[in-house]
Structure formats: structure tokens, C-alpha cells
Structure 1
């Protein structure tokens, strides 16, 4: 999407019967370009996801007005139903994209509607919209200053978390820029199925340095590296591709790719530039077929697919960018690798991509991996890598289920002789909302800035009890507490009315009763149902939730 006129994300999801099941190709259709018109001129079978852009809530928070969209420019219920039926027949999923870079006059105030008092109602109205049109999910495209204001108020991540909970079995995705103030918060990433990176618009009408390109290959590389560093996993990273360009110094300010080909001929499809780059030169900057093919290869190497803003701008026939992208995906062998090991720290030196399986020293050497020579690794979500310092899976081992930039920290640098790569066992986790106690002594509840309620007015000697908490197996659990405090305090955890004491945790001073932080400790619990108790040796703190995770 564009950063000013937000883009649609094009993501490839599972294509039925295709070897490209993990690849995403997401295409946006702006409602103001005519949903039916664009759908009819596009080969929807080349897409895995289609984002209908953009829906906004009415001032009261409703997304529907009767059976029609309340605030979605030029879109009718019949238009949406037509595209959904046609896309589903072609094997593509359809999402509604929210907000956009320019919020229309018919929209309500997003900042107000995402406050705790109205957030739940807004989410339910959005669920109603999704169900009314048989949509497959929601794409969130809050951008720029609006995104920053919502995030600074602490309302973005709770909104996404609430949306995720309210749409089981549906997709929740986002579009994001890669500049300070335009990036979605890291705290929201876990709730998205994937994130579309708007890797373009380095220069355009009114911003950037005239004389440069608006979407060079190097910008895509830089944006990907930024989001990798922020913790976005490969399976969730989707690279944005522009199907448009900008003109300067005598040319029109904006061009769809089809406009460029129609005006300057088929040869223009094979380059990225009309004219000559320069601050005082007349030129048009865009991405032609070779560059978009190269970006598609990059997206498959570093991420899980591509996103397109937007489909109405594509050329036809041999000059179609969508066809070029799909052809490039089709010529890229699907990778079964789920982990990559590297010779040096920070993912440097030689690298080898490994599918799930067990690898003796001889099998590693056959893949070019030397004995005792590995220093970092990357692991796909849902998998784990177990490194052994002996051949045939003997000796000391270390297990990693996340990217590890340097095995020095694990005491396993240059020690791997055999490796096992397998699906990670799902860790049991349970979150208790603090206000859902079965019994209590001395506490009260109140509205929480993170949504819902929290427990407050906790004095020394106060307590909360939660009955029937079933721990699946005996062993070690991490217990996290979401707390806020003006001056700090202490809480303790016990089982079965104090029969088993599990230890105390210091609550730090956070600076406000609604300024939240998370503290934790590890405890040992026997399997089975228990009554969990939280007690205040010293008071002066609030509690939002408690989370147990089996280690």
C-alpha cells in the first residue's frame, strides 16, 4: 500500500492442491476503483488473498447501515458479495481492510472508538460485518499519525488482541510502514497471522528527495531487515510490491503501471525509469517486471510471500505484473527447510537450510556443514533444533526453538556434531483474568486501561482465590503477573488455601495505577486441579492477569 493512500496487501495462502501452500500473494482492491470492475479484469486464481479496501466505522461505531457497509466508498452489499463469491470460487480468501491512509468524512473517530469503553462494541460490530459478508478475516491498515496516537494511548495492541479473540478461525493481518511513528507495535505481532510491509514510497508528491527512486530493491532489503530485527518471523513477513509510480518535473505526479505501459510502450515494462534521475530532471520512477521478479525472489527467501498495492493498476497480457510475480513464484522450487544453520555468529559465514529430520555428522558434511563449526541459527515458528556435541545424537545437547544470533550465549559455539530438527512440543499456557476470582478478601475491581477490568485497592492481607485450575503435568511452570503500582509492593502465590506456598514476587513501582508491567517467577507444581491463591504480604498494587506456562 502507499503510505499516504494505504495499500492493499497481497498475500499467498494455501492454494488447493499446490506445492506453494505456504506462499502468500495478497492483492488489494480499492472500493473507490469499483470492486466488481477490478475483480472482473483480474485473474483471481493467481491470488491467495484479496483485501477489500477500505472500511471504516460510522461515528457510532457501526460498520453496517442496514445490510450495507456504513462507510466504504462506492461499495454496496451486492458488490462485496459478488467479489467474495467469485474469489472463493477461484480459491482465494477475502478480507476487509480497515481505515487506510486517508480517513473519509463518513468515518467515526478511531481514537475514541478504540478506547476501553467503546472498544468491545466496535469489535463486535466488525465481527458482524465479517459474518454478514462471509469474509475470511480482517486486515488492519491504521497508518501514520493516527496509528501513532492510538498506540501512544495504549489502545492499538488491546484492539488487535480483542479482534484475534473475537474472530476464531478467521485471519487477522496488518499493513505497516517502516519508519519511526509509522510502524505497528512489536507487542501486536503475536496476534497477526501475517504482516504486509509497505516497502515503497521513499519519494513521492510532497515527500522524500526528488531525484531518487520511490521503491528500489535496496529499500525492500532494508525494510525486511528492520522487521526481522523487530521479531517478525519469516512465516509472517510479507513484502509489499508497488503497481504504480510517481512523476517529477513535468510528468504527472502519479501513474498506474498500466498507464506507463499504455503511454510509453511495452519496452517500459522492462525498466524502472522513464527519463533520467536527478533533482532537476524530468522522470517517472516505478518498478518494472525485472525488479518485481527480483523482489519476489527476495520475498520468498526472507519471508512468506508478497503483497500488492493495488490490482486495478496492473497492465494486461504479457505486461501483467501479477502474471510475472506468479510466474516467478512458480519457477521457485518450494522449500521444505524449517531451519537454517550458519558458520558464524549473527547469521554470517556459510549457511545450510535443513528440512525436518535427524542429521548425523556424515549427513551434515554431505550438506557442506563442518564438524564443530556452527555459531548461529534461524528456526521457523513451531519447530525446534537440538544440537548435540557427539555424533549419532550423543553427548551434551542444547535445544533452540527461536532464532539464535550467537551460540556463545548457550555455551555451544563450534560444538555441533549432530542435529535433530523436529516440530516443537506445544507449551501449555493458561491466562487468568484477575477479576475472575471465585472468592476474595478486601479487593475491588475497576476499569483497566488495557481493556476489561483489573483488581485494585489491594492492601496488606488481601487475597484472591481461583478454584479448579488444572495443571496438565507435574514440573516447572513460569508464572507471570501483569501489575501496576505507585510505590511498589509484594505478592505471593499459593495452592489450596495456603497448603502449598509457591513463593513471593516483588512488584516494582511503575509510576501509576494504570501503568502496567509484567513480573514473573518459576514454581514447581504437581499435576491435577488446584485452587490458586494470590496474597498480598504488602499492598499498594493492582493486578490485571496471571499467566501460567509449562516449561
Structure 2
């Protein structure tokens, strides 16, 4: 994913760090070419699954983009966990999946457990994977064994819904094509399974991979985020469609990262939602860094879905959720100045909407002092609380 901020450097450093850890996820891949090959899956190809709304969640995101995984709105059809790296180039010909998990997001087991909750609500959860190192694969790598190892880890053990390939910048070659085509035996429409295989591409490298791996993807997303305002989207779509991917399987990529907020305005996003290439109707919309949209109150999501996103704690100026609404507040402790930055003025709130599973503790004074009120569900009228909390809230804890 094209990252126009310091997040890219952090991500690469994290993946490199994971590659040196003893507890790195590994599956041994035979390095000899005389092992038995995997038989082709005896299932007929299926129709590609194309979401109307696909998004990426960044577990390493900082305060500007931080979003709890459980706060993903149900309107997201496919969510990609960003990101991992598959490295088929180790001296032992092993498959390494390095996970860019840090800080409060480092517990991969909890991430997987939460992903399963999202799946139960109807969102498909896939793992985004960098393909940068695939050109370095040893000549005798068993690509079928490589693909089986990915399938074992992602589908059988983690029970996710598939994988997304991040193809950008770095050179690609025949090794890359072999790896993708082998993965297509277990993921994507040509596999005949329900496991998804998607890709997000940037210019020449991405187009080369698409051209040499035809018919294996459920959908492909664009990465030219500046085209949201520049109008160069037709050129990008034409380049992808010329590789053999139909217009109806291409998603328009939009970034919610801090550096792109001046471009990804609600007005520009609406133009992208309405726009279609000359070759036909596009597949849908992809949002990179959904947390960036979340911390701003979901302006992009609201345009895509045509309705407010049901996630985050939202305070309202008047009773019955009337008047001005605050931004969606993620879990955390908010002093008065922090509340004001989210649109909650001092002694201002009169009602609140609270997602299931959240607990909100409101305080009468700044720095969590004075009378407190504990809420676990939507509350339309603060005057009904005991004591009366209307126009009394000055700090908040959200758990």
C-alpha cells in the first residue's frame, strides 16, 4: 500500500524486527523439486466476489489514526489486516509470515479473536501481504508447498477469509508470477473455494503481475490516491483493465491517512463514488487506513454508504440525539481539552450513542473529578439520569 507518511518506515522496521524473532510464524517448505506436487483442487471455478466497500485496518497506527478492531462498522464488506510479509527466500527455504504488530496491537491472538467476531457479523476479514521478496525465492522452491503453507496458516489455523496481495514499487519477475498462480489453487475464484484472493496495485509492477496471473483475483484495488482530486482515474483504470481485469472487479482506492485528508474530502469522495470508467461500472470503493476516517467521524464512510457508520461513542448537543454531533470517540480517557478537540464542548452534551460492548464513564469536572455517571447503552436524555447530567460533562472515560 502506498503510504505517504512515516508509517511506511515504521511498518518496514516492524516486519524486519519480526523476521529476527524466534517466535516468528514459520512453516518449513521443502527445497527440493522432486517432492510430490499438490493435485489440482477438483472444484469448479466460482464467480468472483466483489465488495462494494473494502477497507484496510492498520494495527500499528498512531494517535491520528488509531481505531480498535472491534469498532469496524458493519457496512465494511471486506476488511484487510495490514500487513504481513511472506518471505520465501530464507536459507532453509521456509515460509515466514512477519506481522507488523506493535504496542497495544501486538497480541495477534486477540486480533484473530476479534476478527472472528467481525466475521460473525458479516464482514469478511483477510490478511494483506507484501510480495516484495518473492523475486528472491530459491530456484528449487516448491511453489505448491509454499501455497499450502500459506493456506494452512491463514485459512486453517487463523480461519480468516483469504489474502490480499500488496504489489507496488519493487521489481517483479517469474518467481512472483509462480507464487501467485500457486496461491490461486487455494485462494480466489479459480480455486473453486470460498477463500478470497485480491490485490492492490501501483503502476508498472502491479500491472505486470496482473497480466501474468490472469483470472485469479476476486477484485483489484487502485492505489493512485491523488487521483481522487486530479481526475487521472480513467488512466489508472484503463491500465488495469488492459491486463484482463474487468471494470466491475476494480475498486477505486481512497486514502484516509492524515496526509491525504485535504484530498479525500467528502465532496471529492462523492465524485469518486459517482464516477465510472468508460469501460463499464466499477466494482466499488476501497479505503486505506479506516482508522483515519474513524477519528474524523467517518466522513468517507458516510459518503460511501450513504448513512452514518454505526461505530464509536458519539455525543449530541441536544436530547434525543439532536443538534450538533461530536466525532466518533474511540476507547480511551478524554480530558476536557481532548473532548473539545473531538467536538464535545464543556458542559455541552445532552445525549449519547454507545456501541454494544462499550462502557462510558462521564465526569462532571475536568481530569475525571466530580460526580460521575456510568453508561453502557444509548442514552437519549441526560436529564433522566440521577443526578441530572444535562450540560454537565467535562471529561470522559470510554472502555
Normalised by the size of structure 1, how large is the TM-score? 0.41
**How far apart in 1 are the matches of 2:112 and 2:66?**
10
Q: Is the 8 A contact 1:30 1:54 kept in 2?
A: yes
Unmatched runs of 5 consecutive residues or more in structure 1: 7-20, 104-108, 202-213, 246-254, 258-271, 273-285, 331-551
Q: Is the 8 A contact 2:225 2:254 kept in 1?
A: yes
Q: Does 1:135 align with 2:160?
A: yes
Unmatched runs of 5 consecutive residues or more in structure 2: 10-48, 188-192, 310-399
Which SS does the other structure have where 2:253 is aligned? Answer: strand
Q: 1:156 aligns with which of 176, 199, 212?
A: 176
The aligned counterpart of 1:323 is 302
Q: Does 1:42 align with 2:66?
A: no
Task: Write 1 or 2 for the structure with the bigger share of helix.
Answer: 2
Q: Does 1:99 align with 2:123?
A: no
**How far apart in 1 are the matches of 2:185 and 2:229?**
38
Which SS does the other structure have where 1:314 is aligned? Answer: helix
**How far apart in 2 are the matches of 1:61 and 1:302?**
43
**How far apart in 2 are the matches of 1:296 and 1:62?**
42
Q: Does 1:54 align with 2:83?
A: yes
CA root-mean-square deviation? 3.3
Q: Does 1:166 align with 2:186?
A: yes
The aligned counterpart of 2:253 is 240
**How far apart in 2 are the matches of 1:243 and 1:185?**
26
Q: Is the 8 A contact 2:237 2:247 kept in 1?
A: no
Q: Is the 8 A contact 1:63 1:71 kept in 2?
A: no
Q: Is the 8 A contact 1:57 1:71 kept in 2?
A: no
Does 309-318 or 136-145 show the bigger shift?
309-318
The aligned counterpart of 2:110 is 79
The aligned counterpart of 1:307 is 286
Q: Is the 8 A contact 2:254 2:287 kept in 1?
A: yes
**How far apart in 1 are the matches of 2:197 and 2:115?**
17
Q: Does 1:229 align with 2:258?
A: no
Alpha carbons of structure 1 residues 79 and 143: separation in structure 2 relative to 1, 3 Å? farther
1:55-101 Cα distance to aligned partner (Å, 9 max, x none): 1236456567xxxx64433343323323322211221101111017x
**How far apart in 2 are the matches of 1:134 and 1:85?**
8
Q: Is the 8 A contact 2:167 2:206 kept in 1?
A: no
**How far apart in 2 are the matches of 1:298 and 1:328?**
19
1:192-227 Cα distance to aligned partner (Å, 9 max, x none): 1111111225xxxxxxxxxxxx74251222211222
Q: Is the 8 A contact 1:36 1:79 kept in 2?
A: no
**How far apart in 2 are the matches of 1:219 and 1:327?**
25
Question: What is the Cα deviation at residue 173 of structure 1?
Answer: 0.8
**How far apart in 2 are the matches of 1:242 and 1:22?**
19
The aligned counterpart of 1:380 is none
Corresponding residue pairs, total: 250
1:12-50 Cα distance to aligned partner (Å, 9 max, x none): xxxxxxxxx96421111123228994323331x111001
Alpha carbons of structure 1 residues 236 and 22: separation in structure 2 relative to 1, 3 Å? closer
Q: Is the 8 A contact 1:50 1:92 kept in 2?
A: yes
**How far apart in 1 are the matches of 2:240 and 2:86?**
29
Which SS does the other structure have where 1:135 is aligned? Answer: coil
Q: Is the 8 A contact 2:186 2:195 kept in 1?
A: no
Higher relative contact order (CA 8 A, sep 6+): 2
Which SS does the other structure have where 1:191 is aligned? Answer: coil
Normalised by the size of structure 2, how large is the TM-score? 0.55
